[in-house]
Structure formats: structure tokens, C-alpha cells
Amino acid sequence: MIPSNFEYHAPTSIEAALDLINQYGDDCKILSGGHSLIPVLKLRLAAPAAVIDIGRIPGLSSISLDRDRLRIGALATHASIAASDMLGQLCPLLATTAHQIGDPQVRNRGTLGGSLVHADPAADWPAAILALDASITVRGSAGERHIAANDFFVDMLTSAVQQGEIVTEISVAVPAQPRASSYIKVAQSASGFAVVGVAVQLEIDNGVCVGARIGVTGFAPKPYRASSTENALKGNPITEDLISSAAALADSEAADAMNDIHASGEYRRHLTRVIAARALRAAARV
């Protein structure tokens, strides 16, 4: 629980941060809320030569509306997202998800950007980010690029962000029907992380499902879109029967399930279907 020695830098601009990152190469870590990185350092699972705290860079934690897109700074904390009235109205899925992360201390420190880059297979954010088809903005010395949520999660604890890059912003299109959404999770009893979590964003026209995006976290080594379920829903009248049969497909995209002392793969697979059905019912209000 005592980390090894590291240099600490707190640059005040993205450019200065990128310079430092280039200088240290592979041997540095970016620090945001520290609620994943600090435990990793304390357990000596990583021992970087330097920690670069981007928390002093101005402008990285704002939440704003830019025409039809919501732009959320990478440093926005879970708590600030949960408390945002604008998000509560225009994209309640984000606020609902933020509410269900950890405890007040974790929500006050942890950030959206940090959580996404850490790519913990049991984290909550990935489900919502997939269900909202978010775009993640990344800055490197070569400039800026945008990564689609679908391409963002590469593997367990691995995202598409390269060493030397900083996530600056996450943006989502304002959903056509903000309230047709939900996030339901089964929390692991010790850590509170998701054993399974399902986020749903729907579009329903006259009782017919015209749009469905479903993100699943916790079940597999990487979060995924439950496309089979989405396809089964789209174009059909939303009924209890449809939800049941569609939710039963929610585990089909993942071949391998996570398996630990808290839940076997078999149980997680079962939970994924049950929770998908519940999340769909909540979003569709049937």
C-alpha cells in the first residue's frame, strides 16, 4: 500500500502536459481523479517514473451544449455529471449512470475520462457511452482525433487511447427521446462495481421501436453493444413479449464471460439477460 518513488508534475496546459508525456515516453502515467491509478500505484502493479496530474489544466471539466451535441470535459467528475440539470433533462442516462458509481468520495474524485481510459471491464460508464454512441476526443502531439465508442474499448483494461495521448472530451448527440433510457446494474457486494450493467437508449414512435442502442458492461472482458437485441427490437411494436425475447439475446455478442468469486460466467450470462429485460422495460416504460 506504499507506492514506489515517482516524479509528480502538474502542468497547466495541454501542450505542457503533452511535452512532459513525450519526455517520459512509456514511463509515465496521467492522473485525473486518481481513483483507479492510485490503487494501482499503491499495490505496485505499476511503478511509473512520473505521474502527470492534468487536474490543473483549465477547461477540461466543463459540461456544455453545442447545437445538438452535449460536450463533457474529460475531467468532469461523476458527481458533477450526476448533478447537472442540463444532462438530467437532455440526457438522463448519463446522470443515472453517474449516480450509481461507487460512493460519494469516489463520485467526487473520479472522472469520466479516467474511467473510460482505465477500461475496467466492470466499470459503469462504458455501458452508457456505448448506448449513447458517444465520441471520445483525444489530443496527442500529432493533433486531435475522435474515437467512436464502438472502437474505444479494445480489451480488458485496454482502450484505444495510445500512450502519449490525452482524452479531452466526450460528446454525445442529444437523444431524440432522452427519457426513453435506463441503466440498471447488479453491484458486486465488496467493490460496488458492476457484476453486470446494462444501459439502454431507445426511440419509440407510436409504440414501435425505431431506435435502440444497448451497452453491456461487467459480463465480458470488454463492454459491448448488444446488437442482436437491438436488431430484434427495431421496427417492432414494443411489447412485453418482444422485450423478453429480445433481452434473451443480450449475451450473444460475448463469447467469454468474466468469472470470479463473486459470480460465475454462467450466472453473469443469466443476469445479463434478466437485467437487459429490466432495463428495456424501464426505458420503454412498459
Partner 1 sequence: MSSNGKNEKYVGRPVKRTEDPRLIQGLGHYVDDIRLAGELYVAFLRSPYAHARINSINTDAARNASGVVAIFTGSDIEGRVGNVPTAAALEGLKVPKYPVLALGKVFFVGQPVAAVVATSRYAARDAVDHIEVDFEPLDVVVDAEAAAQGGPVIHHDFGDNIAYVHRAGIGDVDAAFASADKIVAQKMHHQRLAPISLEPRGVLASFLPGEQQLTLWTSTQIPHLLRTQVAIMIGLPENKVRVIAPEVGGGFGSKLNVYAEEALLSFISMQLHKPVKWIETRRENMSATIHGRAQSGVAELALKNDGTILGLRYTVTADLGAYHQLLTPAIPTLTGLMLSGCYKIPAISMVCTGVFTNKMATDAYRGAGRPEATYVVERLMDIAAQELGIDPVELRRKNFPTPDEFPFATATGLFYDSGNYQAALDRALAMVDYDKLREIQKSDTAAGRLVGIGVSTYVEICALGPSAAMPAGGWESATVRIEPTGKVTVMTGASPHGQGQETSFAQITADMLGVDLNDVYVIHGDTGIVQYGIGTFGSRATAVGGTAVVYATEKLISKATKIAAHLLTTDEENVTFENGVFSGAPDDKQVTIQQVALAAHLASNLPPDTEPGLSATYFFEPKNFTFPFGAHICIVEVDRDTGDIRIKRYVAVDDCGKVINPLLVEGQVHGGIAQGLGQALFEEVVYDENGQLITGTLMDYAVPKAHQLPRYELDRTETPTDVNPLGVKGVGEAGTIGSTPAIVNAVIDALRPFGVKHIDMPLRPEKIWRVISNQ
CB-wise, 104 or 143, nearer to partner 1? 104
**Choosing among ligand FAD, partner 1, none, which partner's interface includes residue 124 (Cβ < 5 to 8 Å by kind)?**
ligand FAD
Report DSSP letters for the chain, one per residue: --PPP-EEE--SSHHHHHHHHHHHGGGEEEESS-TTHHHHHHTTS---SEEEEGGGSTTTT-EEEETTEEEEETT-BHHHHHH-HHHHHH-HHHHHHHHTSS-HHHHHH-BHHHHHHHT-TT-SHHHHHHHTT-EEEEEETTEEEEEEHHHHEEETTEESPPTT-EEEEEEEEPPSSTTSEEEEEEEPTTT--EEEEEEEEEEEETTEEEEEEEEEESSSSS-EE-HHHHHHHTTSB--HHHHHHHHTTTTTT-SSPP-BTTB-HHHHHHHHHHHHHHHHHHHHT-
* Smallest separation (angstroms) from partner 1 to the CB of 5: 7
Residue 114 binds which of partner 1, ligand FAD, none (CB < 5-8 A, kind-dependent): ligand FAD
Is 73 a binding residue for ligand FAD by CB under 6 A? The answer is no
Touching ligand FAD, residues 160-219 (CB under 6 A): 161, 166-167, 191-193
Nearest distance from C-beta of residue 174 to ligand FAD, angstroms: 23
Query: Which residues of the chain form contacts with partner 1 (CB under 8 A)?
Result: 1-2, 4-5, 43-44, 103, 186, 188-193, 261-264, 266-267, 270-271, 274-275
| Residue 123 interacts with ligand FAD (CB under 6 A): yes or no | yes
Min dist CB 229 to ligand FAD, Å, is 22
Determine, following the binding rule CB under 6 A, whether residue 121 of this chain makes contact with ligand FAD: no
The residues that touch ligand FAD, with contacts defined as CB under 6 A, are 29-37, 54, 74, 101-102, 106, 109-111, 113-115, 117-118, 120, 123-125, 161, 166-167, 191-193
